[in-house]
A and B are shown apart, each in its own frame.
Chain A
């Protein structure tokens, strides 16, 4: 029975690499740490399934550290509200949980960006990470054909994983130009340890068809996907396939940070050199501060965890972060969306999938809020998480303010006063 006595010294929201690193780093004798994640198991997106089945040494190490730490894991918990400073409410399958904390680390990760194009709503058109997640949760992919498209390092990672599971990767279509990709690869080589990765990547790419300067134009099929037409290095090409794994890089999950009042800059959570946000005792690490990949997330997570637990910050860590921070800029520059992608969506194509609002309707308005009020775009259960980044790219619209609940939540959960929940605190173990 959890104790009612004390709040967590450090509460970490998000169980991906940044969150795990933060929780482990914070946990030391006398410091109570909680780690919250809305998934069934920790690992976030990029380390999904790694806890049981580590495929790389770094995830294995961190999961080992997590297991041997005294971090209290709270799985299947989705934060939806902050009723007062120092407290969060999270929805779990059984009940609502009230979490009190002295220090908070937000490691809420990122999600894929989707852009509308003809046929993008067909079943079996999914995000790149989306298809990977489904396969990791039991979808058989052996013998199935997949086209991977969009932009970002995720495409290659997903293609590699799917191929290992027996899928036939017909094409990886990356919208970035050849020149940008070569520059990216060259920059990677400057990192120690990256050479091995680069060589492995090179080997892999010789086995799979990879096309830069390429993007999807239309997905076809009657009841589900049957083929995809892409612009492949300037020429249209139609490829029959079972799945289209398509995502246009990543968008930070900043909703909780916004709800707490943290300052954002250019859509990312502003943090200082200790990963502290503009709100006292709230830290942020990983993708919400800038899309920078796993290694940077691990470093930032460690810094945030140490800072949140008032421990010394080793100079080495700070130096490593500075070195890795350039990846944020590099990723951003390399995988910037080209203007051609703005014309993929046709007027009749749906941009808001929850409410089936076509582009033609939404285009009549000059702001996100006006479009939402008048067309219902963004009024569905995804709360604009899918259509928001699309319209931001297409029309340069900024999203509006965040209100609770930051995820759809049962009314029962929303309607209970703090103090009446199963309190999960960092009391005695």
Chain B
């Protein structure tokens, strides 16, 4: 089976097309969104890029607190920011 040229995920319900090999964190940045609100309401995006800081955490297919910088986009994935 050949590798697809692009994948489509949805971020907060909005579809986004990405190249295979793109992580969810990168995809959210491509979409111009931020990953989460901090506990005092500050907007946050990825910091460490290596699965340690948790600033990139979002909900993937209903599972909250996922470290999205270490998850590859897959077709049909549903990502929710600030969740």
Contacts A40-B72, A382-B52 known; A130 to B38 CB distance under 8 Å? Answer: no
| Secondary structure of the A contact surface, majority rule | loop
Number of residues from A at the complex interface, CB < 8 A: 39
Known: A39-B70, A40-B70, A385-B53. A137 touches B26 (CB 8 A): yes
B80 to chain A, nearest CB (A): 17
Chain A residues with Cβ under 8 A from B29's Cβ? 134, 139
Which positions 28-69 of chain B face chain A at CB distance < 8 Å?
29-30, 34-35, 38-40, 42-55, 57, 65, 69
The answer to whether A223 touches B34, judged by C-beta atoms less than 8 angstroms apart, is yes
Q: Which residues of the other chain, B, contact A322 by a CB distance below 8 angstroms? A: none
- In the complex, A386 Cα to B47 Cα: how many Å? 10
Given contacts A224-B45, A386-B52, contact A353 B38 (CB under 8 A): yes
Q: How many contacts between A and B, using CB within 8 angstroms?
A: 110
Residues of A within 8 A of B30 (CB): 138-140
Establish whether residues B54 and A134, one from each chain, have CB atoms under 8 Å apart when the complex forms.
no
Decide yes or no: A126 and B46 within 8 Å by CB, A40-B72, A137-B21, A381-B57 being known contacts.
yes
Known contacts A137-B26, A223-B43, A111 near B38 by CB under 8 Å: no
Per-residue B-contact encoding for A325-356, CB less than 8 Å = 1, 0 else: 00000000000000000000000001001111
User: Which of B26, B42, B50, B52 contacts A139, CB < 8 Å?
Assistant: B26
Asked whether any CB of chain B lies closer than 8 Å to the CB of A300, the reply is no
Is A47 located at the chain interface by the 8 A CB criterion?
no
Contact residue among A137, A356, A381, A382 (Cβ-Cβ distance under 8 Å from B22): A137
Residues of B contacting A127 in the complex (Cβ-Cβ under 8 angstroms):
47-49
Which of B35, B51, B54 is the most central at the interface, judged by chain A CB atoms within 10 Å of its CB?
B54
Q: Is B11 an interface residue (CB 8 A)?
A: no
- Could you mark each residue 216-227 of chain A with 1 if its beta carbon is under 8 Å from any beta carbon of chain B, else 0? 000000011000
Q: Which of B26, B45, B51 contacts A39 (CB 8 A)?
A: B51
The interface on chain B, measured as residues whose beta carbon lies within 8 A of the other chain's beta carbons, has a size of: 35
**Bound state CA distance, A122 and B38, in angstroms?**
11
If A123-B34, A138-B21, A381-B65 touch, whether A133 touches B49 (CB-CB below 8 Å) is yes
Q: Within 8 Å of chain A (Cβ to Cβ): is B8?
A: no
Which residues of B sit under 8 angstroms from A137, Cβ to Cβ?
A: 21-23, 25-26, 49, 69
Cα distance A121–B35 when bound, in Å? 12
Complex Cα–Cα for A134 and B35 (A): 13
Asked if A168 is at the interface of the complex by the 8 Å CB criterion, the answer is no
User: B81 to chain A: closest CB distance in Å?
Assistant: 11
- The verdict on A130 contacting B45 (CB below 8 Å), with A39-B70, A380-B54, A382-B53 known, is no
Other-chain residue from A123, A130, A350 in contact with B43 (beta carbon distance below 8 A): A123
Set A76, A112, A140, A224: member contacting B48, Cβ < 8 A:
A112
Could you say which of A138, A224, A355 contacts B19, with CB atoms under 8 Å apart? A138
Query: For A78, A139, A224, which residue has the most chain B Cβ atoms within 10 angstroms?
Result: A139
Structural contact, B70 and A38, CB atoms closer than 8 A: yes
Let me know if A353 and B45 touch, CB within 8 A.
no
B79 within 8 A of partner (CB): no
Instruction: Assess the A134–B69 pair: CB atoms within 8 A.
Output: yes
Contact A38 B51 (CB under 8 A): yes
Assess whether A353 is in contact with B53, with CB atoms less than 8 Å apart.
Answer: yes
User: Could you tell me if B47 and A114 are in contact, using CB atoms closer than 8 angstroms?
Assistant: yes
Q: How far does the alpha carbon of A40 sit from the alpha carbon of B50 in the complex, in Å? A: 11
- Min C-beta distance of B30 to chain A, whole Å: 7
Residues of A within 8 A of B43 (CB): 122-123, 223-224
How far is A351 from B53 in the complex, measured between Cα atoms in Å? 13
Q: Are B48 and A111 in contact (CB under 8 A)?
A: yes
Asked if A386 and B70 make an inter-chain contact with CB atoms under 8 angstroms apart, the answer reads no
**Most A-side CB within 10 Å, residue of B19, B55, B69:** B55
Interface: A19 (CB within 8 A): no
Which residues of B sit under 8 angstroms from A112, Cβ to Cβ?
A: 48
- In the assembled complex, A236 has its CB within 8 A of some CB on chain B: no
Interface membership of A143, Cβ < 8 A: no
Residues in A neighbouring B72, C-beta threshold 8 A: 40
Minimum distance in angstroms from B32 CB to a CB of chain A: 9
Interface residue ranges of A115-131 to B (CB < 8 Å)? 121-127, 129-131
10 cross-chain CB contacts under 8 A: A111-B52, A114-B48, A126-B46, A129-B50, A133-B48, A138-B18, A350-B38, A356-B42, A381-B54, A381-B65
